Chain A
Amino acid sequence: MQTPRDVVIIGAGHNALVAAFYLGRAGLHPLVLERRPVAGGAAATDEFYPGFRCSTYAHATAGLAPKVVSDLALDRHGLELIRPDPAVFAPTNDGRALILYRDPTHNGRSAQSIAQFSNRDAERYPEFARTLARLAGVLRPLMLKTPPAMQAPALGDLWTMLGAGRAMRAVGSKDMFRLLRWGPMAVADLVAEWFESEPLRATISASGIFGAALGPWSAGSGALLLLRAAFDPEPASGVCFVRGGMGKLAQAITGAATQAGAEIRTGVEVAGIRAREGVVTGVTLASGEEIAAKAVICGVDPRRTYLILVDPTELQPDFLGRIRNYRSKGVLAKVNMALDRLPSFSAVSNLSDPARTLAGRIHIGPEIDYLERAFDASKYGGFSTEPYLEAVVPSLSDPELAPAGKHVMSIYAQFAPYKLRDTDWKAQSEALGDTVVKTLARYAPDLPGLILHRHVITPADLEQQLGMTGGHIFHGELALDQLFSLRPLLGWASYRTPLRGLYLCGSGTHPGAGLTGASGANAAHEFLKDWKRKDRA
């Protein structure tokens, strides 16, 4: 019998790699097993058409946790972040456009653009930005903390809560009540308390619905706005690209993890997690090979972990029932396009520098009702005929991605529900692509003629290619009942699982908000606590 490895990590998504780095740094030699031929999960760059490369899945980070960036020294491993400014370009129905810049408080450029629609909003915008930044400041430290066990608070948990309580009290009672109110609110109500113009309301509220099965009128979308702000407090919520595409981020994290002592094997599919009497003993590969391990950290989503990888007889029926009820039906699709040249948006034709204006997030969703209608169709198993889109042209700030003069465009399209009624994604994938192009063409009429190649990735594709259950980009719905101490389940938010020696480190754990690395870092922290305790024992 082979000697067991100390730790096996399942999946080489960014969180798993971050966890591998921290374990390596602590002197362990984790073995990372990845089913796909490359490490990185949703952080990938592919040449999807000769000469055109783009971030296949995620096209921007959600604000990598700064601690992760510095601990892993990602810049030394080749990570270069690009933050286009202006951050957001949001064309409206009447041919105008709202343009929001970074740093909303120190210059008047955003205000000038907002003033086209409302002077009052232009005046209030900096105050909103400051308020959001203050609240984000209270939440930020919580992102890199293990959520307290609400159901049976221990001393450490009380400390975390007290810390959060103190941080809250430090910002004053007004902000404290804001935090308590904003979380459960509908983001549409939240922005309406501040602003009167539809383009601004809609552009900001997009943060509250992105990737979620929520419309702006859904209660709880306020919590998502806050969660996103914790990583990127600018209300414009601009994009943060990685030079060379997201694959470069994967390479940088892989480099850091490897250097720290992790071993990464790609093209190796884990078929099961083995356990005996409630203690994890290793993994079984699809090839039939078994790898014994003292501990397993799993970067895949909770449903796949518990319902497919773990033998159900190792788990309590109640627990399994709860996991089955964990919601992870995605609503986000992705369209990548190779373009012959930069499309002409009608709203920028009168601006001096269209290339610069379009370099950030292009927000398609000019009104709250537009966004809500886009959501409506998905409730009944259809995709919206006028979807909410977040498009980017990364080749504007990173010309190497496309041949000279040509461009790549990457579009998140929402709402495209995982489960279609009376049909499936195989039959509808191109129809979705057409809908996205048609929607964009309303604002950039020459776009359809510029498309050299188009690649549609539906939630079904996300599930099949990346193993995300339900095609959910966050490994499970970011709803009030699945956040913080409740993510993935009440009682199991500490990255530990009912199996001793098995840990979760993916987006299905707190904070779970996209490409931040926080889940991986937190999971590694908890794992190492247990590991050291075991060593001493």
Chain B
Amino acid sequence: MASPRYDAIVIGAGHNGLVHAAYLARAGRKVLVLERRRVLGGAAVTEEVFPGFKFSVCSYVVSLLRPEIIRDLDLPRHGLEILPLDGTFTPMPNGDYLWRVNDHARTRREIARHSPLDAEAYEEYGKAMAEQGRFVKPILGMTPPDPSRLGPDVIRKLMFLGRRFRDLPEPDQYNQVQLMTMSAVDFLDQWFETDVLKATMSASGIIGTFLGVRSPGTAYVLLHHYMGEIDGAFRSWGFSRGGTGAISNAIAAAAREAGAEIRTQAPIARILVKNGGAAGVALENGDEFEAKVVSSSVDPRRTFIGMMEPGVLPEDFVEQVTRYKFRGSSGKVNLALDALPDFKCLPGPGPHLRGAISISPSVDYMERAYDDAKYGRFSRRPYIDCVIPSLTDPSVAPPGKHVMSCFVQYAPYHLKEGNWDEQREAFGDTAIDTLAEYAPNIKSIIRHRQVLTPLDLEREFGLSEGNIFQGELSLEQLFFLRPVPGWAQYRTPIKGLYLCGSAAHPGGGIMGAPGRLAALEVLKDLRG
């Protein structure tokens, strides 16, 4: 075997794989990143799907990217520029709307229009959630302990968490336990009375999850989306100039500068195991690369079942991997537009189009959308979260034209009848019909459309069952249970094989935390 020898091979050049590689390379390790697709970035990717129209094909907004990663990797110098995403606009069927913006006074007036009580509560709520974000922050920067092996490290971590909780003021303790256990709607019911406000806020609790807004456990997903921080401001979301692919490119640039080698169009056939330890990888074209460490940023199913010989892993472990839940619940509709959509309730091209446009008119609407999915069909009237990044970043569309990115939920990966190849266009039509109820001109301004079903997300981006978080963020798959109990420390039963993607703690979104934390564990082990 004549190929060069590496310290580490990273499977997949998604943002986590790249963060992982960058940290290893910065520590002086020789790193090779192998990506199956012709472009790097994984689900954080910008592609010119139609000539002149550039789309953040999958993930389309950013907030969760850990500040320490931006700092450590000096990402702004490598081209990362975050543009503000201002506000959330929710059109309502009765001709009214709810439009929250980053300007506090204005949002307060707007909410007061619906309910003066809620306007008061909104301020309190914002403060309370920022507190929760601060409380959770160190957990995002921590490798989860393994509670079944009570060593000094585990006790130290559990004590640390216990003390932090004990030291919280009482109201924050309440909020914390409630966020860990309640449904998004039950949680929000305690704060607000305006249905459309609760519906739109609860949407953060179901994104990427096969649960309804009234299902216990969704308050945690709500919190997960509150952990975001841009320039020190919690809960702010933004676009990356040039699309989310620009984030991946910036991280890749940082990794390359530190010495990492990145190859695209290098699909991996299997992970090589020698004497019970990872020894390298074999590509589909037969090339083999040796390394001391193999870190996989793809999900556990693809890693352990797709890339390993049967019998190498303990049966028990394989069983746990098999039952790890993916259950993709969303699709994506990307539109190339000739003009801007015109909303009946707030006509004209106003600033309300510059933020998120949320089709979430009522809690019951959200819940009914889930009911459809529970029985194996896509929502007849889905929850849709749209952005028009070309308004903020004109470079992504030809002059005067626009790109609109629509995240559509629910779209269950497992359909009861038919298959996604048959239903793709019907799914796209449903999304457009839904939007047309609020912005009737939408149908006449669509120049091109790209519909991505959960099956497409799986085929094209390697996300098993189309789950955007590489596995559900349900309580039994979090922290020391993610991805499987006993293996939440990024290590695997194969020595030298690590997981560094969203399937590891703390989970999905363009966060980078799993990639970084896994790198710290790898470096610890390499030092011996």
Contacts and interface: CB of A to CB of B under 8 A. Distances in A.
Given A151-B166, A177-B481, A184-B476, A218 B174 contact: no
Contacts of B371: 376
State the main secondary structure of chain B at its contact with A.
helix
A183 B371 CA distance: 23
Q: Which 3 A-B pairs have the closest CB atoms?
A: A173-B148, A184-B475, A177-B485
B170 interface: yes
A189 B217 CA distance: 14
B192 interface: no
B39 to A, nearest CB: 36
Interface string A465-496: 00000000000000111000010001100000
A396 B162 CA distance: 53
A325 B190 contact: yes
A222 B166 CA distance: 27
B interface, how many residues as a size bin? 35 or more
Nearest to A481: B181
- Of B149, B182, B323, B476, which is in contact with the most chain A CB atoms at under 10 Å from its CB? B476
A376 B150 CA distance: 43
Contact of A153 (B166, B178, B215, B375): B166
A101 B475 CA distance: 33
B175 to A, nearest CB: 10
A472 to B, nearest CB: 15
Contact of A481 (B150, B177, B476): B177
B315 to A, nearest CB: 13
A193 B166 CA distance: 36
Contacts of B342: none
A220 interface: yes
B370 to A, nearest CB: 9
A252 B148 CA distance: 44
Contacts of B325: 189
Contact of A150 (B165, B178, B374, B475): B165
B166 A177 contact: no
B174 A322 contact: yes
Given A180-B480, A181-B485, A369-B374, 19 more contacts: A151-B166, A169-B150, A176-B148, A177-B481, A180-B476, A184-B217, A184-B475, A218-B216, A219-B215, A220-B181, A325-B189, A325-B190, A327-B186, A479-B182, A480-B181, A480-B216, A481-B177, A481-B181, A490-B177
Nearest to A151: B173
Interface in A297-329: 318, 322, 325, 327
Nearest to B182: A481
Contacts of B182: 479-481
A379 interface: yes
6 contacts: A169-B148, A173-B149, A181-B481, A185-B474, A481-B216, A486-B177
Interface string B202-218: 00000000010011111
Contacts of A184: 181, 216-217, 474-476
A173 B177 contact: no
Contacts of B374: 217, 369, 372
A184 to B, nearest CB: 3
Interface string B341-381: 00000000000000000000000100100010011000000
B286 interface: no
A159 interface: no
Contacts of B147: 176, 180
A152 B166 contact: yes
A222 to B, nearest CB: 8
B79 interface: no
B209 to A, nearest CB: 10
Contact of A379 (B181, B189, B214): B214
Contacts of B364: 379-380
B474 A219 contact: yes
Interface string A124-150: 000000000000000000000000001
Interface string B72-107: 000000000000000000000000000000000000
Interface in B149-189: 149-150, 162, 165-166, 170-171, 173-174, 177-178, 180-182, 186, 189
B466 to A, nearest CB: 18
Contacts of B215: 186, 217-219
Contacts of B277: none
B398 interface: no
Interface in B213-231: 214-218
Interface in B449-502: 474-476, 480-481, 485-486
Contact of A486 (B165, B181, B475, B480): B181
Contacts of A322: 174
Given A173-B486, A220-B216, A185 B476 contact: yes
Contacts of B481: 177, 180-181
Nearest to A190: B476
Contact of B216 (A189, A219, A491): A219
Contact of B174 (A173, A214, A373, A490): A490
Interface in B271-328: 323, 325
A486 B374 CA distance: 30
B173 A490 contact: yes
A150 B474 contact: no
Nearest to B179: A481
Contacts of A220: 181, 216-217
A379 B375 CA distance: 16
Contacts of B190: 325
- Of A180, A376, A380, A481, which is in contact with the most chain B CB atoms at under 10 Å from its CB? A481
Contacts of A153: 162, 166
Nearest to A161: B162
A491 B211 CA distance: 29
A151 B170 contact: yes
Contacts of B375: 369, 373
Nearest to B476: A181
Contacts of A479: 181-182, 186, 216
A150 B163 CA distance: 11
A177 B177 contact: no
Contacts of A369: 374-375
A234 to B, nearest CB: 24
Contact of A193 (B162, B323, B485): B323
